[in-house]
Amino acid sequence: MTSDPRPPGGSDGLDPAVHQILSSSARRSIDERREEGRSARTTRPRRSFAEWEPAADRLDPVAILEGQEVDRLQELLGERHRRMLQSPFAFYRGGAAIMAADLGVLPSTRLAVQLCGDAHLANFGMFGSPERALVFDLNDFDETHLGPFEWDVIRLAVSAVLLARDRGWEQQVQDDLVRSAVGRYRTSLNEFAGQSNLDVWFSVLRIEDIEEQARTDKGRRRIERTATKARANDLQKAITKFTEVVDGRRRFRDDPPLLHRVESFYADGDPARISDAVRRFMADYLVSLPHDVQLLMARYRVLDEALKVVGVGSVGTRCFIVLGEGRDPDDLMILQVKQAVTSVLAPWWEGRGLDSEGQRVVEGQRIMQAATDPFLGWARMAGHDYYLRQFRDMKGSVDLTRIHAAEAGGYLERCGWTLARAHAKSGDAVAISAYLGSSTNFDDAMVEFCRRYADQVARDYEAFAGAAGSGRIEVAPDPVA
């Protein structure tokens, strides 16, 4: 079994990132770039995506997940498994490594971009920009990596089918959702290919734009409610929910299994040593920030830290929240500190060769997002890489368990546009657009691919459930209501 990585650099000894800049699309004509895209149809015909079948030597999906868990916090793995067992859709959310292994052995277009790496539809949402506007964008970059553009498109499109199946929607609805996501991605790439570099770079989807695009009054009201909820999901709400004042000192609550004070979770450790390590870690984090943000963050001191269980696939990685105090006890801030492990795409595509996985996540996010958290940075502690960001700053998402089929198509179109914009920022939109073309050949092939792959996810889910039933993997009990 072999991968199909695109060599990131030449034989001139340059750093891959520098080589990519020097050989970028700016040094080639529009016609040359279009020809590159059309030529990719020879190595990876658009209709060939419809022919997907699992490889004869396909890896055991449960073994892939177990391989990810060797260096995770073993006490939390049962919770990861419980969350993934909720449905095939939830299993798919936590199984990005399984799909990476399936896509990595396929022929590719070799049209590389900065990938999200885990672009399923639950990883899109709302958050506050530095200007405090509410925007819609990708919001999870743990797996970001270089790779062929289609890997992200496939990840998104298959998630649409799995959502529809989870909701009991008929086959035609499933196919229509794929066409909504893939078709909008294709037409948006075509639009970005005709825009200036600056217009692409500064494109952003604001909530006001989404409200105007809503197809029904009911859909518009639902968007407005989601936006209102996101705006209320601010720092003060997090302070109220997750902290308390004990003996005149504000600290995080101890609320297992989802929130653990560090001193209680690491009961056998030296609390003073742990706190000292966190403070030295925070100093290293400051170095990764722009100088103006360093000046601001240096005015806060660390009050407390806690272990916070987040996500689905991320459960078991080391994720913390840190409470900081500024000019007085009312000037508070919470940062999320999330472990960054090797991207699931790394075995299948050449990366940039960065020394820090945290740096990989941060730089990938800065490239792909339209408006990035100014406090995004990275550091290393106790042999592990981490990235840091604001915690729950106006963050919100569509409730996929309640979205109606009539509204889901519009949501998938927004995701398709957003993904196209992100790819156009780092990749060659002209070449990718020339590959995709103006016909629906690629869309049609994706419909068939997604049907087949969603069936495979269902089989993998059953294998995972079987492993839980046999005791091969531990499963945490459902939380008490």
Please, which pLDDT band fits residue 8 given cuts at 50, 70 and 90?
very low
* Mean pLDDT confidence for 117-145: 89
Element containing residue 260 per DSSP (H, E): strand 259-261
Please, which pLDDT band fits residue 206 given cuts at 50, 70 and 90?
confident
In this predicted structure, which of 156-165, 402-411, 468-477 has the lowest mean pLDDT? Answer: 402-411
Residue 127, SS3 per DSSP: strand
* Mean pLDDT confidence for 25-45: 91
Strands (E), 315-362: 319-325, 332-339
pLDDT at 233: 74
Residue 294 reports pLDDT greater than 90: yes
Burial class, 455, CB count within 10 angstroms (exposed 0-12 / middle 13-18 / buried 19+): middle
> CA 319 to CA 306: how far, in whole Å?
9
Residue 5 reports pLDDT greater than 50: no
pLDDT at 468: 97
pLDDT at 12: 45
Top-ranked range on mean pLDDT: pick from 5-14, 17-26, 233-242, 449-458: 449-458
Q: Which residues pair with 114 in a beta bridge?
A: 146
Residue 2 reports pLDDT greater than 60: no
In this prediction the pTM is 0.91
Residue 4 reports pLDDT greater than 60: no
Q: What is the pLDDT of residues 276-289, one digit of tens each?
A: 787 788 889 999 99
pLDDT at 339: 94
Residue 477 reports pLDDT greater than 60: yes
pLDDT at 209: 75
Would you state the structure tokens that stand for residue 191, as one six-digit string?
A: 């639009």
Select the more confidently predicted residue: 445 or 2. Answer: 445
Annotated domain spans of the chain: 29-231+402-470, 235-390
pLDDT at 24: 59
- Whole-number percent of the chain with pLDDT over 90: 68
